[in-house]
Amino acid sequence: MKNMKRWVYGLMLLAGLMDATTGALLLAAPMWTLDLMGISVLPLEPLYQRWIGAFVCSVGCSYLFPFLLPAGPVRDQRSIGILTMATIVRIFIAAFSGVAIATGALEPAWLSVTFTDATLAILQIVVLRKKILDPGHAA
C-alpha cells in the first residue's frame, strides 16, 4: 500500500510540475511556448494564451499543494479532492481538444494535450476508484 501511495504522489508531482511549468511558460512567453509544443498556427493575440497559461499553471500548482502538508491522513484527503477536481478538468480538456482536432478547429499538434489529459484522467480515475489514498481503506 505504501508503494502505491508513493506512486500516486509521484504521479501528482510529475503532473503538477508539468502543468505549472507549461502554464508559467504560456504566461511568460506564449508564442515561444506554443512553437515549442509544435503548434504552427499561432493565435494573433497572446493575451488569450496567457489566460490559458494562468489556468494551466493553477491546475499544476493544485497538484503540488499537498506537498506543503505533512505526510498523513490530512495530506491524503486533500489529495483525493485535488485528484477529483483535476480529473474533471482533464476529461473536459481531453474531450474538447479531441473534438476540436477532429473537426479541424485545432491542428493535429494539439493531440499531445488530448493524449496527456486523457491519460492522466484515466490514471487518476483508477487511483480514486481503488481508494489508494483513502486513509480508512486498506487496499
All structural domains of the chain with their residue ranges: 2-130
Q: How far apart are CA 65 and CA 75, in angstroms?
A: 9
pTM: 0.90
What the block records as the C-alpha cell of 4 is: 502505491
pLDDT tens-digit readout, 64-121: 999 999 999 999 999 999 999 999 999 999 999 999 999 999 999 999 999 999 999 9
- Nearest CA to 5 among 64, 71, 60, 89? 71
pLDDT band at 1 (very low <50, low <70, confident <90, very high): low
Q: How far apart are CA 103 and CA 85, in angstroms?
A: 27
Q: How far apart are CA 12 and CA 60, in angstroms?
A: 9
